[in-house]
Structure 1
Amino acid sequence: MARDFYEVLGVPRDADQSEIQRAYRKRARTLHPDVNKELRAEEAFKELSEAYDVLSDPDQRKRYDAFGEDFRRVGAEVDPDAYSRARAHAGAGAGGGRPRGWGGGGGPSDGFRYSGSGDVDLEDLLGGIFGGRGGGRGGWGPVSGSDHETEMEVTVEEAYNGTERTLSINGPDGPRTIDVNIPAGVVDGQRIRLRGQGGQGSGGGETGDLYLIVRIAPHPRYRLDGRDLHVLLPLAPWEAALGASVDIDTPGGSATVNVPAGTSSHRRLRLKGRGLPNRRGKPGDLYAEAQIKVPRSPSADERELLEQLGKVSTFNPRSAR
């Protein structure tokens, strides 16, 4: 049985969206494969991303709260609010317990029926979608198709701006292609749901879903940490010493970094909001790391000026101060 998504994020079931987002960001910092090299970390990060994708989406969260780990198998025609009310009525009629079979052997209804003033029938509500016998109907109900997963690699620029891809799928009627929209701001390990593109159902059951797991390819210039972008910023010695305004390329276009006077190598300069965008919250930031460069073959004038600087300067880079 899969772990409870609330447990994965470490939040209570009544957590609001801001709590869910904070919990995800906190755990993602320690579990991201770029930071944590433990064997379990990558799987834990995937599990965390799946939990966040579901609980940060109000519609998916409502279905997860109603149907538990089977929420993807339950057909869209089943109303989660109605089912939750049915479970509440059923629990009240049975001394406050859960309907028999929910979370145990069999399907969510497992033959349980409730009839009272509300006239609620769990089998009628679920429509036999789990392959159990439809109470009062006879025979076997429809069975939904299985969900499938596949990975898709995108570049940092595609993750920033969004992109479209054509995906080839082998179905029962032969190969076919579908156009996939990758939204701007996807992060590594994020799951994208393609409704109805998974395994075929039987007995009139709905087709399962296909989940694309996004993988962001290594980049020669940028490094990603969640939604934050990191890039090296080469500086001339005089730019670092005196300060300067330097233009740099980012996935979202050109940006200007204001370099304070006295900047040394490895100092990180933050450009707020210039990381990966975020449809559900704040975007990431861009961090430009100073990297002081010197001329390999200084001209005669440059050499003379550097020699003069060496004579008059009292600066000692090896001093503790």
Structure 2
Amino acid sequence: MTLSTLRSEARERLAEVLDGARTVALVNFPNHGNPGDPAIWLGTRILLRDLGVRVGYSSAHWDFDAGSLRSAVGSAPVLLNGGGNFGDLYLGQQQTRIEVLRTLRDNPVVQLPQSIHFADPANEARMAELLASHPDFRMMVRERNALRIARERLGLEPTLSPDHALALGARSRTRAPVWPVLWLTRLPGDPEHVDHGEPDDPDVRRVEWLHGVPDDEAGWDLVGRLALRVNRAVRDSWSPGVRGMGLRHAAAERTYTPLAWRWVRRGIDLLSSAEVVVTDKLHGHVLCALLGIPHVVLDNSYGKVSGTLDAWTGGLPGVHRAESGEEALALAHRLRVARA
């Protein structure tokens, strides 16, 4: 597949599950600096724009309010942002998902393309029961293992779709490379971390792209800094049910898109700084593919990275796979030689 066919496929699958809806709510804005999740959010907004669908309400997990959503969009479909948080590893987004399913019984609920992982079978069983009880729930997944889990263990008939970050389309490097190899990897303690045996090499810069966010944000333009200040002020003072929260939510809502673009740009800048990238981050891979940066992909703990490559992106130009850190480094150096 090409990037353009992946975007077309994502648009067609989204149109299919929306079934003609012209207005939606979009919930679970990723209110953090990890570039991958904001890339998904922005890709969804692009696909909705392409389809002529209006977003009448949006929220992060911390400022979601069922009453405000119904006032804004009535019984329109509620879209839950895609990603890798369907399960019990990341409880903020999952708890909002549960609240949406429990409180919005008259709205179709659409889970946008996700990977699925439950560490505790009891949590998975409770989720299956909640999903079965909702009158109109539609599940989208982005790889075949999630498709199997959704069918066999959650009792659903899901729609397989590319990750929505791919809707950002082809991008250009934002800076000239200064590092031979960038090693973008999860750290010990991360629930998706795998010890791939990273080799010691002076040509390698190792990063986890959530680190150093405050320093990077200090260098943003005026619009970005103002959006961040407003967003943090609203979040720090958020008190559900208190008078005036509606106006505060409206202010926070206006910050989501400018923040998302700047967090994604931060990831693009980081990836652009290297000749070749090695990563076990799914959206390290996705953004490299969009940028045309040669890169080597290692898997995460439960296979969402390899699953996405198997289903959609493994054949894109510049994409290479490895099973160990040693293999990845050797391949990265060969790619550097070929690039030269």
**TM over 0.5, shorter chain:** no
Asked which structure has the greater RCO (Cα within 8 Å, sep 6+), the reply is: 2
Higher strand share: 1
TM-score, normalised relative to structure 2: 0.23
TM-score (norm: length of structure 1)? 0.24
Q: Which has the higher helix share?
A: 2
